[in-house]
Structure 1
Amino acid sequence: MKFATKAIHAGQEPDPTTGAVMTPIYQTSTYWQKSPGDHKGFEYSRGTNPTRKALEACLAALENAKHGLAFSSGMGATDTVMKLLQPGDEVITGNDLYGGSYRIFTKVYAKYGIKFHFLDLSKPENIVPYLNDKTKLVWIETPTNPTMQIVDIEGIAKITKAHKILLTVDNTFASPYLQNPIDLGADIVMHSATKYLGGHSDVVMGALMVNDDQLYKDLWFIYNACGATPGPQDAFLVLRGIKTLHLRMKAHCENGAKVAHFLKKHPKVDKIYWPGFEDHPNHEVAKKQMRDFGGMVSFTLKGADLKETFRVAGSFEVFSLAESLGGVESLINHPVSMTHGSIPKEEREKVGVTDNLLRLSVGVEDIDDLLADLERALK
């Protein structure tokens, strides 16, 4: 089944009672049992709900995985992966990382004796000196947030498999339409489904997809025991959003490319981060593992201080100054004061997350309006 067909149909059948084409919202907390234990797979909605089950099957299909799990947020999904670890374990991750991931790693799990190594992952072999018998997980983003670094998933996976280490890929920026980490050797794929999967900025949700049956059982136990599960209304909204994922991603990519090329020529723009440029670090890796280069673009303002950067960020009329990304509307974000504020200044500046950096989530509006808005704000 091709991607567009999976996006519309995977995991979903007409309702057996009414014939409804759309999966119903099963707004219930519990389920009738004919006799104790006779529950047809549904007992209590923290563990399983029919609307959520349809979504999870769809999510798995999109990532070419056997199993999917939907969570109440992307951080809920991240937290569940971390709970696979034990005190004394070590984790290797990137030095350009979503601020929420950095925060949960350093402020929550480091307290429990888990050690994190934040590395330059531009080359797979960079992880080798940090491998030891305590290394249990490698966690990567690609493209990274917010400087769009590209990590070679297949190259990292060859190393982790040889050492029997779990590899988790945060695939939020790419979406399953552009990249499928499990096909490249990852063990777990994580999404903030709030972003491109939902696609309409109206729901908060996370997701994990896996192939290994035992790993799925281990994650499901934590998922059910700890309770970071979403309600059926949110599951319905993400199912609805996924039906247009392929159409939206084409438009995001087209607009993203035009915005990136516009900014590269603009006299007030210094550095620009978009993996579609031939001079972008690891551009060839991006070409190999992605189907297109996405709708996320970051750039720095030439010679701008924090005051001037704030002025520009607040001058847009079509782009909205807001956190998050991946919706149909275009957003502009100032990482230092918004999504990456929890990362120490010296650490974020090492990878280019400076006061004059702005991140764009390029939406699906008319490209002429987006370019005119950029021109107006950059005056």
Structure 2
Amino acid sequence: MASNSEGFSTRAIHAGQDPLQWTHCSVIPPIVMSTTFRQDAPAEHRGFEYGRSGNPTRKVLETCLSALEDGKHGFVFSSGLGASTVITCLLDSEDHIVSGDDIYGGTNRYFQKCLSKQNIAVTFVDATDIKNILNGINPNTKMVWLESPTNPLLKLVDIKEATEAIKKINSSIIVVVDNTFLTSYFQLPLNLGADIVVYSLTKYMNGHSDIIMGAAITNNDDLAAKIGFLQNAMGIVPSPFDCAMVNRSLKTLELRMQQHMKNGLAIAKFLEKHALVEKVMHPYLPSHPQYKLALKQSSGHSGMVSFYLKGDSQKFLKSLKLFTLAESLGGYESLAELPSIMTHASVPEEAREKLGITNQLIRLSVGLESEKDLIDDLDQALKACQ
């Protein structure tokens, strides 16, 4: 078992992977497909009884994720929104959530279209100003939901200061941070005071655009017991095969994130100097309004870059050759999309306009291709959209 004092890749490769946990000492954890497990006597089992309640392959992944997050308890789910569903089921009817206003479109839709039917209200605020978060807190507020960097505008929230301020008002409020854009390699929300960190593992953590999965990690024993109960009771669990695939992918996470950052920052610098680009959003550009916070709160940035285009966005996207026009992010391949009519189309039009999610806003997920080839592709597409 790797300890949290060891390096990131050491933990990614060894945490939860001990061959001695299997009688056959397999170096690579086996994919255990069984849905049921033999018991020594009625209600006496050896850690596993039914696949929904627990699975050896899933346990390996959850242990590894916890170690990478400096967390105690990890849980995986069949999707990122599945993880969000379980986390919000920690709340009761008539409870209230304060959420950042610039969040993943699917989360926004879930909050507005699904939670409302459970009589749970959500107030959306610009969480970059902590005063807005605090002003949104009501007597029945039980959860604050944050993304940093935000999706798709790449704004930052000071997680440590926000959490400390929230807890001063009410220490029982659960602070959740969606860390999908940065992963535990670049940012550790639990160490910054968050109660739960949530992921779409579909994105960078898996990194190969072939698995849909979510996760929640916490250091809070009481929250862990409740999440574990809900994971079993609601049945929002991933398959053993999918767990094995993500567990495999974590072994190269450090290397992949380093290359994503290198390529992403190079492209951000290229775009910032281009005549057909109005504005570039990347937290590690000195021009970013929260550049100093980025340096303080994280150790790097992923391949996510957003920018406002001066030319025809449709022509630009159709002219790309290496960048694929597609939703999602975090894979080894480079993607480009138009959030206003793709990933964030479910966000109400008025809210999109207020946030600045216009038809000129392009979101890039910069992959692992050669830097020069990616820049050349963007350059030719920019020239084609004049």
* Coarse TM-score class (shorter-chain normalised): over 0.9
Residues 75-104 of structure 1, C-alpha deviations (whole Å, 9 max, x = no match)? 000000111111111111111111000000
**After alignment, is 155-164 or 324-333 more displaced?**
155-164
Length-normalised TM-score, structure 2: 0.95
Residues 83-130 of structure 1, C-alpha deviations (whole Å, 9 max, x = no match)? 111111111111111100000000000122111111011122222222
State the partner residue of 1:237.
Answer: 245
Q: 2:273 aligns with which of 245, 265, 268?
A: 265
State the partner residue of 2:332.
Answer: 328
State the Cα distance separating 1:293 from its structure 2 match.
2.3
1:376 equivalenced with 2:380 (yes/no): yes
Q: 2:348 aligns with which of 341, 344, 350?
A: 344
State the Cα distance separating 1:334 from its structure 2 match.
1.2
1:364 equivalenced with 2:368 (yes/no): yes
Q: 2:50 aligns with which of 44, 50, 71?
A: 44
Q: Write the mapping of 1:103-182 to structure 2, written as runs, cut at 5 A.
A: 103-162=109-168, 163-164=170-171, 165-182=173-190
Give the secondary-structure state (helix, strand or coil) at the position aligned to 2:163.
helix
Amino acid in structure 2 at the alignment position of 1:211:
N
Task: Tell me, in whole angstroms, the C-alpha distance in 2 between the residues paired with 1:22 and 1:359.
Answer: 37
Give the secondary-structure state (helix, strand or coil) at the position aligned to 2:217.
strand
State the Cα distance separating 1:312 from its structure 2 match.
1.1
Q: Calculate the aligned-residue CA RMSD, in Å.
A: 1.0
Length-normalised TM-score, structure 1: 0.97
Give the secondary-structure state (helix, strand or coil) at the position aligned to 2:272.
helix
1:292 equivalenced with 2:297 (yes/no): no
Amino acid in structure 1 at the alignment position of 2:9:
A
State the Cα distance separating 1:356 from its structure 2 match.
1.2
State the partner residue of 2:198.
Answer: 190
| Structure 2, gaps ≥5 residues long | 1-5
Given that 1:275 and 1:286 are in contact with CA atoms closer than 8 Å, whether structure 2 keeps it comes out as yes
State the Cα distance separating 1:289 from its structure 2 match.
0.7
Percent of residue pairs bearing the same amino acid type: 48
Amino acid in structure 1 at the alignment position of 2:13:
I
Given that 2:263 and 2:371 are in contact with CA atoms closer than 8 Å, whether structure 1 keeps it comes out as yes
Residues 242-261 of structure 1, C-alpha deviations (whole Å, 9 max, x = no match)? 00000000000000110000
Task: Tell me, in whole angstroms, the C-alpha distance in 2 between the residues paired with 1:17 and 1:128.
Answer: 53
**After alignment, is 313-322 or 65-74 more displaced?**
313-322
Q: 2:95 aligns with which of 69, 89, 100?
A: 89
Given that 1:122 and 1:282 are in contact with CA atoms closer than 8 Å, whether structure 2 keeps it comes out as no
Q: 2:323 aligns with which of 316, 319, 323?
A: 319
Q: Which runs of 4+ in 1 moved over 2 A?
A: 15-19
Given that 1:147 and 1:273 are in contact with CA atoms closer than 8 Å, whether structure 2 keeps it comes out as yes
Residues 156-208 of structure 1, C-alpha deviations (whole Å, 9 max, x = no match)? 11022221211000000011000000000000000000001101111000000
Task: Tell me, in whole angstroms, the C-alpha distance in 1 between the residues paired with 2:119 and 2:244.
Answer: 38
Amino acid in structure 2 at the alignment position of 1:149:
K
Give the secondary-structure state (helix, strand or coil) at the position aligned to 1:87.
coil
Q: Write the mapping of 1:219-234 to structure 2, written as runs, cut at 5 A.
A: 219-234=227-242
Task: Tell me, in whole angstroms, the C-alpha distance in 1 between the residues paired with 2:292 and 2:304.
Answer: 18
State the partner residue of 2:3.
Answer: none
Give the secondary-structure state (helix, strand or coil) at the position aligned to 2:145.
strand
**Paired residue total:** 375
Give the secondary-structure state (helix, strand or coil) at the position aligned to 1:26.
coil
Given that 1:256 and 1:362 are in contact with CA atoms closer than 8 Å, whether structure 2 keeps it comes out as yes
Q: 1:253 aligns with which of 249, 261, 265?
A: 261
Task: Tell me, in whole angstroms, the C-alpha distance in 1 between the residues paired with 2:69 and 2:166.
Answer: 20
Task: Tell me, in whole angstroms, the C-alpha distance in 1 between the residues paired with 2:379 and 2:56.
Answer: 48
**After alignment, is 141-150 or 328-337 more displaced?**
328-337
Task: Tell me, in whole angstroms, the C-alpha distance in 1 between the residues paired with 2:276 and 2:226.
Answer: 51
State the Cα distance separating 1:311 from its structure 2 match.
1.9
